[in-house]
Structure 1
Amino acid sequence: MASIGLEPAAPSRLSVLRAIVGIIVRAVTVVLVVMLAIGAGLWSSRYMIARGSPLSVATYGPWQQWPRIGRESADPYTKAHMISTGKLRISSDSAGVFEARTDSEGARLHSSCNYVVTGANMHGLWWSIGVFDTRGNLIANDADRYEFTADTIAPNPNGSFVVTLGRDARPGNWLPTSGAGRLVLVFTVLDPATGLSSEERAERNKDLPIIKREGCS
């Protein structure tokens, strides 16, 4: 007797539709993962260019320094940071430039708060301290007061100094913050003409000013 061959049943429309949907879902998932990875990479790069990383920035309490600014050996993020600011920066071979965006307790600097900045005797080194907005601009104020330097500060008898930050005028070394919002404090110390050794720079960086918040309104 001849056997009767049975042809396999054709897949149903429902199973085909499920397969197509599965392929689409997997493709969309892959695209989303790739887009998230690219977005995270771009955000990370922008952050490291703007704020730095442990590889490009040295941190001393609330103060940060780009130690290879202006050097031929500067890393790519340091070079990109210099370009992004659009400003000529002093070479780290000639000066230490330190920026603080928080007080010494880690709270964000803001013009709604008052601060007392206490600095040690810099032992004859020329320095300046100024306050800026987050775009790097000086803060407009009626007193036309934007910074203090080793030449213009009224120091304590032992050579240390105190600077106050706030919207309202105060006696002494007061820097107005007006209504700038978030603040950036910049402390610059010029190296002597003879230069400083690595050990001398490390010792200098131990004496960076302390930033204390007094109160906010």
Structure 2
Amino acid sequence: MLKRAVLTLIALAIAIGGGAASVWYALHIQKGAGAITIGTWTAFPDIGTPEADPYTNARVAREGVLALGRAEGLAFVAEHDSGGKPLARECVYRLEGQLPIARFWTLYAADQSLDVIATGKSRPAALQSHQVLREADNSVRIMASSRPAPGNWLLTAGSGPMYFVLTFYDTPIASSTGLSGMELPRIVRSGCDA
């Protein structure tokens, strides 16, 4: 009798623990159901629409974010550089390449909860389309580091993992046809502090 009760408790613990772990994993990964990936950038184009899958809806509800509708814009998140290594605040990155057509875009360095990194300085860890310098071919080159850099500089601070969040507002890429053949900036690691 006691053996059967212990085995039942073990089975329940495995079932509940395994179920909770799988839900946690599904809600924390940046890739998965409903995601599209362009280079190192991942987005959920159905977020904020009736077509969103249950995991995307649960992610929005858990994070308490106001999701952009399909006609409003699209947010891309990068958690790895172009070499496949996880992004780290201690490293220097160069974001370079073309950006799709959009009325306005923002780029910020984020912590694990996708909030803007607190830099402890008056300069935020964010840039927007109206303040960047462009190359002759209309591409951008942005340095992301804890130390100032010439040209476009995105301040990062602290240590540990980070993400880049690139959001396009009022853009044709929010429709499914606008995503074909699209390119986003490459993220190249230039070095790391020891």
| TM-score category of the 2 structures, normalised to the smaller one | 0.7 to 0.9
Q: Which of 40, 62, 75 is residue 40 of structure 2 equivalent to? A: 62
- How many residue pairs get aligned? The number is 192
Among 166, 169, 177, the alignment partner of 2:148 is: 169
1:214 partnered with 2:193: no
Is the CA contact (8 Å cut-off) linking 2:109 and 2:117 kept in structure 1? yes
Matched residue, 2:157: 178
The higher relative CO (CA closer than 8 Å, separation ≥ 6) is in 2
Instruction: Compute the displacement of 1:25 (Å).
Output: 4.6
CA contact (8 A) 2:88 2:162 kept: yes
- Which 4+ stretches in 1 moved above 4 angstroms? 23-27, 194-197
Q: Is 39-48 or 156-165 further displaced after alignment? A: 39-48
* 1:177–1:71 Cα change, 3 Å: same
**In angstroms, what is the RMSD of aligned CA positions?**
2.3
Q: Alignment identity in percent? A: 29
Q: TM-score, structure 2 length as denominator?
A: 0.86
2:175 and 2:40 map into 1 onto residues whose CA distance is 24
Q: Is the 8 A contact 1:121 1:158 kept in 2?
A: no
Compute the displacement of 1:119 (Å).
2.5
Say which of 171, 179, 183 aligns to 1:201: 179
Question: Match for 1:144: what amino acid?
Answer: R
SS in 1 for 2:59: helix
TM-score when scaled to structure 1? 0.78
Match of 2:134 in 1: 155
1:31-42 equivalent positions in 2, closer than 5 A: 31-42=9-20
Segments of 5+ residues of structure 2 without an aligned counterpart are none
Structure 2 partner of 1:7: none
Looking at structure 1, the residues matched to 53 and 28 of structure 2 have their Cα atoms a distance apart, in angstroms, of 14
Larger radius of gyration: 1
The residue aligned with 1:128 is 106
Deviations 1:21-62 (A, max 9, x none): xx6456534532432232122111122123255322222222
Q: In 1, distance between residues paired with 2:180 and 2:29?
A: 21
CA displacement at 1:184 relative to structure 2: 1.3
Deviation, 1:125, is 4.6
